[in-house]
Amino acid sequence: MASHPDSSLAEPIPLPRRQDLRADLVWRCADCGYQRQSPERPERCPACSAGTERLEGKTSIEWRLLMRRRPAV
């Protein structure tokens, strides 16, 4: 069990100023690719109704870094 005082996020964000970053969270559905910016984890994907565990939350900065590493197809 994680012992973070703030357990509302499943994934730890290894960056400072977490409060600011939370407002910049973008959730991406692993099933259909739907993206939504929200400080809270959505209960499910509004596009394909996938469960919340299918939604991956990262800040827009982290997504940008990921996209830069992976060549766009």
Residues that bind Zn ion (CB under 5 A): 29, 31-32, 34, 45, 47-48, 50
Q: Where are the beta strands (DSSP E) in 1-73?
A: 25-29, 35-37, 55-59
Smallest separation, CB 71 to Zn ion (Å): 23
Dihedral (Cα; 30, 32, 33, 39), 10-degree rounding: -70
Closest separation between CB of residue 58 and Zn ion, Å? Answer: 16
Rounded to the nearest whole angstrom, what is the least distance from the CB of residue 50 to Zn ion in the complex?
4
* Short-list 52, 61, 64, CA closest to 20: 61
